[in-house]
Amino acid sequence: MSDSYFPRWRTQPSADAGRVVAPDERLPWPQMFAMGVQHVVAMFGSTVLAPLLMGFDPNLCIFMSGIGTLLFFVLVGGRVPSYLGSSFAFIGLVIAVTGYSGHGPNLNIGVALGGIIACGVVYAIIGLIVAAIGTNWIEALMPPVVTGAIVAVIGLNLAPIAVKGVSATNFDSWMALVTVLCVGGVAVFARGMAQRLLILIGLAIAYAIYAVLTNGMGLGGKPIDFSIVSNAAWFGMPHFTAPVFNGQAMTLLAPIAIILVAENLGHIKAVGAMTGQSLDRYIGRAFIGDGLATIASGFAGGTGVTTYAENIGVMAVTKIYSTLVFVIAAVIAIVLGFSPKFGAVIQTIPGPVLGGVSIVVFGLIAVTGARIWVVNKVDFSDNRNLIVAAVTLVLGAGDFTLKLGGFALGGIGTATFGAIILYALLRRRGSGVV
């Protein structure tokens, strides 16, 4: 790479025969645009789903994902290929601090926004420390056994929310299972890009089935109201919301920064391994960029953001790592954020369908944690690793809460800090290295 702040992207004629396109290279612009669209589609399912589960405006969150990605791009000097989208790590605690019922807009969203901003500040501070002294201390505190347990806990902690959300009526429960089968069918029987978009395509199929049963045949639950789509304008300004700085909400949400650090660190290591170019020198700047993007999103009314595994998966398949692709994807997301009609379509997604998708997504998050253990060959014959993983999973899945006066640390928080502290306490007596 060049010595300038931004790379001097070299143009490659094509990506034929699986040729690797490095972060400081690019394809001809028409191919770059097509790749940008593909990355938007890849992140779309999760970046829409996470806001809906918390009662945020998905249109605004997609808009802020584009803004956050551009901010990240500038902070890392265009050296780290990543897309920033809504983080699932916030869901459980946002629901807890706002008392969200699980359907419609979250009327207490301002309180959550203050906590998201606090989390972003902590995240950015960690980034400044890493930029100053390096990453060894983070890797020592959060080895794969810890990061895998933390990621798995996010999915397990959210599982009761998904199940409760589809248990109101018998029809809702059956429709959720139909949605699970739709997503599973796409995951197993589809091929190519369709298989990579299993959440989006599975949701669309289940949506169509729900519409046929309720709107067409008059069965089961509430019919889909398409009038909000026809009444929505094609273009309009996103609906911004001001944060409310509540001390308890801020102390609850700020520790999520540790989870975001674990996610981002793992993603950067993965991209570095895929490209054959170590990106470790940019980790501090990446944390700062992600932290600032989360702060900006919180001030606008959006969710906290994180680097997206879905987009890393697309890079692994295509072998195209050009950072300019993510600039294009970010601009496309910003344009979508200016379409109220696009947002209205999202709002018509039925609750049982959304709940069924949630069951799959939360399960995938839990399995991703286990995958971290497998990929890094975590040795569970080492009792230290066994105890750390076992205790962390139960604390998170059981939503173990610690209260100190007016402060309460929920299941994900206690599991996260418990894993880090327990590993450190048992480290002297342990013999393993992971």
Q: pLDDT band at residue 398, thresholds of 50, 70 and 90?
A: confident
Q: Which domain holds residue 46?
A: 21-429
Higher pLDDT, 133 or 37: 133
Question: Domain for residue 44, yes or no?
Answer: yes
Higher pLDDT, 216 or 338: 338
Higher pLDDT, 370 or 68: 68
Question: Domain for residue 28, yes or no?
Answer: yes
Q: pLDDT band at residue 63, thresholds of 50, 70 and 90?
A: very high
Is residue 68 over pLDDT 90? Answer: yes
Is residue 240 over pLDDT 80? Answer: yes
Helix axes 144-165, 91-98, angle to 10 degrees: 50
Question: Domain for residue 404, yes or no?
Answer: yes
- CA 278 vs. chain centroid, Å, equals 23
The most confident of 151-160, 190-199, 302-311, 389-398, by mean pLDDT: 389-398
Higher pLDDT, 261 or 193: 261
What are phi and psi for residue 19, nearest 5 degrees? -65, 135
Question: Domain for residue 346, yes or no?
Answer: yes
CA distances from 71 to 43, 101, 364 (A): 17, 33, 28
Is residue 241 over pLDDT 60? Answer: yes
Cα–Cα distance between 221 and 219 in angstroms, integer? 7
Cα–Cα distance between 262 and 401 in angstroms, integer? 22
Q: The pTM is what?
A: 0.75
Higher pLDDT, 143 or 287: 287
Which amino acid is located at 82 in the chain?
S
Question: Domain for residue 3, yes or no?
Answer: no
Q: How many domains does the chain have?
A: 1
Cα–Cα distance between 9 and 258 in angstroms, integer? 33
Q: pLDDT averaged over the chain?
A: 82
Average pLDDT over residues 273-283: 81
Average pLDDT over residues 208-237: 80
Higher pLDDT, 334 or 264: 334
Question: Domain for residue 11, yes or no?
Answer: no
Is residue 378 over pLDDT 90? Answer: no
pLDDT at 313: 66
pLDDT at 194: 66
Question: Domain for residue 396, yes or no?
Answer: yes
Hunting for tokens 């200016």 — which residue is that?
A: 338
